[in-house]
Amino acid sequence: MNEDKLIQMNMGGLQGKEHKGSDKPVLCLGIESSCDETSAAIVDSDRNILSHIIYSQIPEHQKYGGVVPELAARAHILAIDEVINKTLAAAEKKLEDLDVIAATAGPGLIGGVLIGWMAATGIAQSTGKPLVAVNHLEGHALVPRLHATAASGADGKIDVNFPYLLMLASGGHCQILLVRGVGQYEMIGQTLDDSAGEAFDKVAKMLGLGYPGGPVVDKCASQGNPKAFKFPRPLCDKPGCDFSFSGIKTAARTFLSRIEAPYSEQFINDFCASFQAAVVDCIIDRLNNAFKDVRVINAAPQTLVVAGGVAKNSAIRTAMEQLAAQKNVLFAAPPMNLCTDNGAMIAWAGIENYKLGKVVKEPVAPRPRWPLTEL
Ligand code: KG4
Ligand code: ZN
């Protein structure tokens, strides 16, 4: 049976239901399974996370140096029921208490996306609750409105209002977006080759630091000299807001081909610090240009926001915070556990979409590719 048919059969019971947008308090179960985290959360429209379970498959993929899609799909199958049940139990809620179910419907590794999506569809169908098909990138893009702070490491939750300028940097994507509203994303710049997360992961792999690379490179960089190695800054000082990270990655490979492993601790720290400084410079250069883009000038966003797994990076946060101060706008970043993939961001995007009446009314085929600009 092909995938489309399977989805249509299972979606049959949802067809024809109308759910209008509403201002009433909303309780949402969100499910995320697009990569190597099986996660679920129960979130309310007052921005409270009642429960949140993240089952990370990282240990299962580590020995392969990256995510193996087939293994990821199998691990999602084994984990999904338990993750959802534990999330309900931790919030002391039953399925009947929920107002809406949301799940990632793409983009991502399609095997994993299908598992979370079918679980959500089953729950929605058996309970008669509305269902929201969430774009994973929209989850990252909107989660700062659920929880963000105005400075790195600060405690107080702030309100992130539309429009905002967003640096979305994850393992699979690297984009500067003007976020005008729910479902309204204007692409200001994007990577022409690798994402920032991919660059961190590949450089870590070259150094033998394991997977995922971002956290360990970040840690080593904090002990190193950012001027020790001269990495290129592709596209910097050129007009536009696009990124290119493949040149930085190639430079890393060329440097390392001249030096015999094993590398000393100091060498690794200096190498990571120099590589990370190049990535930070590129991000700041491109964001600087974004503030000069006529669409951004006209929209006059009051907040510069960072989101996605790479938003955990301490140097990127610090540099973006300084840029925001120079540009006279607020800086906002989600707490660390809401940067990498998680169910709470899907639940929150589910709530924002549900409030606008954007629920599933006809069969939805999960999509491995689904640009934010096609929402
Ligand atoms: O958003 P995410 O969890 O998954 C995708 O949607 O792709 O992002 C994962 C990426 C990985 O590439 C990982 O190395 C990177 O986020 N990452 C970091 C840090 N923590 C995670 N990159 C740089 N610095 C970090 N501290
Ligand atoms: Zn992600």
Cα 228 to ligand 2 centre (Å): 32
* Among 18-32, 76-90, 190-204, 344-358, the least confident range: 18-32
For residue 97, give the nearest of 135, 118, 78, 123 by alpha carbon.
Answer: 123
Amino acid identity of 196?
A: A
Q: What is the pTM of this model?
A: 0.93
Distances (CA, A) of 62 to 71, 186, 208, 355: 12, 35, 12, 39
Cα 16 to ligand 2 centre (Å): 31
Cα 229 to ligand 2 centre (Å): 30
pLDDT band at 241 (very low <50, low <70, confident <90, very high): very high
Mutate to test the pocket of ligand 1, among 194, 200, 201, 320 (most ligand atoms within 8 A of CB): 200
Distances (CA, A) of 152 to 139, 156, 244, 315, 338: 21, 11, 26, 10, 14
Pocket of ligand 1 contains residue 215 by CB under 6 Å: yes
Distances (CA, A) of 264 to 64, 259, 268, 369: 24, 11, 6, 41
Cα 171 to ligand 1 centre (Å): 5
Pocket of ligand 1 contains residue 106 by CB under 6 Å: no
Nearest CA to ligand 1 atom 19: 214
Domains and CATH numbers, the chain: 3-145+339-374 (3.30.420.40), 150-333 (3.30.420.40)
Give the residue-averaged pLDDT of 86-110: 98
Pocket of ligand 1 contains residue 36 by CB under 6 Å: no
**58 touches 211 (CB < 8 A):** yes
Cα 93 to ligand 2 centre (Å): 27
Pocket of ligand 1 contains residue 105 by CB under 6 Å: no
Mutate to test the pocket of ligand 1, among 33, 198, 207, 310 (most ligand atoms within 8 A of CB): 310
* Conformational region of residue 142, where left means phi above 0, alpha means psi within -120 to 50, and beta covers everything else: alpha
pLDDT band at 22 (very low <50, low <70, confident <90, very high): low
Which range is most confident: 3-7, 147-151, 190-194?
Answer: 190-194
Residue 20 has pLDDT above 90, yes or no: no
The overall average pLDDT reported for the chain is 93
Decide: helix, strand or coil at residue 104.
Answer: strand
For residue 308, give the nearest of 299, 318, 317 by alpha carbon.
Answer: 317
Residue 10 has pLDDT above 70, yes or no: no
Give the residue-averaged pLDDT of 228-232: 98
pLDDT band at 363 (very low <50, low <70, confident <90, very high): confident
Pocket of ligand 1 contains residue 108 by CB under 6 Å: no
Question: What pLDDT does residue 151 have?
Answer: 83
Distances (CA, A) of 94 to 10, 42, 99, 313: 22, 11, 11, 37
Mutate to test the pocket of ligand 1, among 222, 340, 370 (most ligand atoms within 8 A of CB): 340
pLDDT digits (tens, 9 = 90+) for 117-173: 999 999 999 999 999 999 999 999 999 999 999 987 788 899 999 999 999 999 999
Pocket of ligand 1 contains residue 112 by CB under 6 Å: no
Pocket of ligand 1 contains residue 170 by CB under 6 Å: yes
Pocket of ligand 1 contains residue 213 by CB under 6 Å: yes
Instruction: Give the span between the Cα atoms of 204 and 268, in whole angstroms.
Output: 10
Cα 261 to ligand 2 centre (Å): 33
Instruction: Give the span between the Cα atoms of 276 and 222, in whole angstroms.
Output: 10
* Conformational region of residue 16, where left means phi above 0, alpha means psi within -120 to 50, and beta covers everything else: left
| DSSP assigned state of 242 | -
Question: What pLDDT does residue 127 have?
Answer: 97
Query: Closest-lying ligand to the alpha carbon of 72?
Result: 1
Pocket of ligand 1 contains residue 57 by CB under 6 Å: no
Nearest CA to ligand 1 atom 10: 171
